[in-house]
Amino acid sequence: MKQKERMLAGQLYLVDEELAAEMRHTAGVLWQFNSEPEPEVRAALLRGLLGGTGRSFKIEPPFRCDYGSHIYLGENFYANYELIVLDQCDVRFGDNVMLGARVSLFSAGHPLDADIRNTGLEYGRPITVGSNVWMGGCVTVNGGVTIGDNAVVAAGAVVAKDVEANTIVGGVPARLLRRIDG
């Protein structure tokens, strides 16, 4: 099994030349994106990089990711400045998602055992964000998390566990603050 296949399957893997080349390509596209003043040109660059997008989306520069090809944006997606997505596994967003400034989504993980970690092995866990989700500024979402539809994540929260639909969570680690009545 190739290292990329291991990565996408959530198994331990090493960054090999194929993965390193993909990251170099992504870094070049992001350099263009982050330097480009025209929103239409930036959107075209991301359409060529990301795994999929809706017709309408906007990511404010600067934006950082590892690969891009494992990121999928629903319709009417918006991310404010300094979005970071470590996309070792799929990171999927539903429709009408709004992200505040400095939101980070980390599908990457590292072994807890120091001897294994020091070999350079890492793994990934997918992240799924439902539709109509709003995340405040400086939210961090860890790998393996699913955020349900209509959820609100308060600014500064660290989301390490799944978030139910129609709820507001906040804190470190994020916990249920209240349910949203429909």
Catalytically active residues, by annotation: 110
CA 62 to chain centroid: 14
Question: What is the SS3 string spanning the chain?
Answer: CCHHHHHHCCCCECCCHHHHHHHHHHHHHHHHHHHCCCHHHHHHHHHHHCCECCCCEEECCCEEECCCCCEECCCCEEECCCEEEECCCCEEECCCCEECCCCEEECEECCCCHHHHCCCCEEECCEEECCCCEECCCCEEECCCEECCCCEECCCCEECCCECCCEEEECCCCEEEEECCC
